[in-house]
Chains A and B, each alone.
Chain A
Amino acid sequence: MASIKVLTDVCTGCETCVSACPFGAIALNDDGVAEIGDTCTLCGSCVEACPFEAIELTKDEEKTVDLSMWHGIWVFCEIANGTLRGVGPELLGQARKLADELHTDVTALILGDEGIKDFAPELIARGADKVLAAVNPGLQQLNDIAYTGVICELVQKYHPEIILLGATGFGRSMAPRVAARLRTGLTADCTILAADTENHLLQQTRPAFGGNLMATIICPKHRPQMATVRPKVFAPLAADESRKGEIIVENVQLPKDILVETLKSSTVAGEDVNIADADIIVAVGKGIGSAKNIALAEQLADLLGGAVAVTRPLVDLGWYGYAHQVGQTGKTVAPRLYIACGISGAIQHLAGIAAETVVAVNNDPDAPIFAHAHYAINSDCVDFLQTMVETIKEKGYKAV
């Protein structure tokens, strides 16, 4: 088992490790030497930081896995109710770049009924070299157990070295099951994916602590290397109809015991816009003053073809649906434009925003949101919304 120890005769009590420890696990003991407490996660930051090489981390010898049989990048492209979710092509674009650096190829993996083959040309135009279509009428419904069973069998057959999946509701539910069955690593919600060409590894960078810290993660000894990515993090490649690709159709069996069944699906009134997919978001916070004022934000969103988002207090007050909450305990959004009205800019809210352009409207010039806004408007947000709606109607602006 892995272990860590301080070489007490080498430690000078300089405390470099104390401040280097991200978990606050190290303190000087009565003898003036470093002592590592229970909160230690064996991350090794102290070992690197120690100027005297006084800390020893012993990692276990791991069984070496034969990595040479694993090749190619797979992108799982989710098809929900006959529609290809946008994140699939976005990831194909990124996979294409990684594959060129790693000298390997890109496969778009799709599951569903016969009809899914029709998506193959688009997937190839967006960067796939191959389309692997797993066909069974029972795969028309997104189902964790059915999809996990089928994907794991295909992985055992084809041995991809990397699998990328969209962090959609379904992707976030199914990918961990697949990783657990394959006993491999899975990194959630990556925002940067890079190729380490020397070691032939995928470097997966993701936000932690609500976006306050970025962590780069690798999966050195297990295959496939798996990562999920939120929609809109990467842009798709322009469709290139001249690209050629191979289509492989697998008529697959479903697992015996499915155990879960979707009885019905509904899109809630007013909630048919998934804020994670919106290009323009009008977001409101407590500063909006009352539930009925949110109608102004809805009008503005309608005029711009966008969606309304809210901060947590509005959901807690019952003013708006949870499906619209942005932030650490809500959704992450990546629109082109985010207009924050009457929002203070708490770190938990900011954690959910990955917008290209942020506009903040607040009557307090010291509101923290202004530090994160490209355009700062120190005004009453109700006035602002009213004026925006009127001006846009009068001058006839619309979203590009």
Chain B
Amino acid sequence: MKIIVCIKQVPATNEVRLDPVTNTIIREGIESITNPFDTYAIEEAIRLKKKLGWQTAAVSMGIPAVKEILRDSMALGIDEAYLLSDRGFAGADTLATAYALAGGIQKIGGGQLIICGKMATDGDTAQVGPMLAEMLSIPHVTDVAEIIRIDEKEMVCRKLTDDGYQEIKLHLPALITVNKEINVPGLPSMQGILDTYDAPVTTYTVSDLDVAPELLGLAGSPTQVVRTFIPNLAIDNEWLTGTVNQQTDALLSRLSEHNIIEKEG
């Protein structure tokens, strides 16, 4: 039985700094990290490994430098790491990303449980997980806050919904995406870091996988970005001064003027 976590490397910050002359984005000097939500996915896989004795693997699609975050996951306790890296994967939208990940997961023999982060902080789409489940023809649950029970055949988990929580039972193999309620990620041990310093990361290129190259990368992406622009976030603001009582009165009258609140009766 195997648990596979999908992890993505993202920039450590979302702050977009602009070059005042060219009006383009400055990306230098920004560090890369494991997508924050994926750290919960890694932790959950490790906890399940301890409890159930299943094997664990991490898979990522990205540039060769992504090996670093894959090794970080091994330092935490993930057994094997796989990197899908090739120019042919580049420029992928969520559909082409899910397709590549599905190809990679099939290549390593599939998993009984696939765990993704709830979303990646750079794209904020939360689409790759459910798309990947569909491509693997397995059920999925998003926004999982707790795995209540799991065995080789089925699991019950608690999911955050718009209105509260739901308990959902699903047949394995299955895919879940996890939010930060599920656990508190641990830190790697010194020994873990030393042991995985040089740990092998198996790298696959397009030709290693049983996939249709025209469905990968830019060519396999139905969506295209045609324009990017910096939103105009500037707003007129008014300072309400005086004592707290005066500030409160001023605010209440502004809000009445804007028809947001009104006096009763």
Contacts and interface: CB of A to CB of B under 8 A. Distances in A.
A388 B180 CA distance: 34
B260 interface: yes
Contact size class for A? 35 or more
Interface of B: 13-16, 19, 21-22, 24-28, 30, 36-37, 63-65, 87-88, 90-91, 93-95, 98, 121-135, 138-143, 145, 156, 160-171, 174, 179-181, 206, 213-215, 217-219, 221-231, 233, 235-241, 244-245, 247-249, 251-252, 254-256, 258-265
A217 B225 contact: yes
Which secondary structure dominates where chain B touches chain A? Answer: mixed
A256 to B, nearest CB: 12
A168 B131 CA distance: 17
A216 B255 CA distance: 34
Nearest to B14: A210
B14 A374 contact: no
B14 A328 contact: yes
Contacts of A217: 223-226
A259 interface: yes
A118 interface: no
22 contacts: A22-B24, A39-B63, A41-B91, A41-B218, A42-B218, A49-B24, A63-B214, A172-B142, A188-B126, A210-B124, A259-B138, A259-B170, A266-B165, A274-B163, A328-B124, A357-B258, A370-B237, A371-B237, A376-B238, A376-B239, A383-B244, A391-B252
A189 B124 contact: yes
Given A183-B95, A213-B230, A347-B14, 4 more contacts: A2-B219, A38-B65, A41-B91, A371-B237
Given A168-B162, A379-B244, A180 B252 contact: no
A283 interface: no
A208 B122 contact: yes
Interface string A49-75: 100000000011011000000000000
Interface string A15-58: 01001111110000000000000111111010001000000000
Nearest to B16: A212
A319 interface: no
A380 B245 CA distance: 12
B167 A216 contact: no
A2 B217 contact: yes
A176 interface: yes
B237 A373 contact: yes
B94 A186 contact: yes
Contact of B166 (A185, A220, A265): A265
A181 B134 contact: yes
Interface stretch (A124-132, A284-292, A392-400): A392-400
| 8 A-B pairs closest in CB distance | A185-B222, A24-B27, A210-B14, A185-B223, A212-B16, A267-B164, A42-B91, A180-B134
Nearest to B216: A1
A339 to B, nearest CB: 9
Given A62-B219, A177-B134, A271-B164, A216 B140 contact: no
A1 B217 contact: yes
A262 B28 CA distance: 47
B149 to A, nearest CB: 11
Contact of A144 (B122, B130, B230, B244): B130
Contacts of A210: 14, 121, 124
A176 B131 contact: yes
Given A209-B122, A262-B168, A268-B165, A41 B90 contact: yes
Contacts of A259: 138-139, 170-171, 174
A221 to B, nearest CB: 7
B244 A59 contact: no
Contacts of B218: 2, 41-42, 59
Contact of B142 (A173, A185, A337): A173
B25 A213 contact: yes
Given A209-B14, A328-B121, A215 B227 contact: yes
A245 interface: no
A399 B261 contact: yes
A169 B118 CA distance: 11
**Which among B21, B156, B237 has the highest number of chain A CB atoms within 10 Å?**
B237
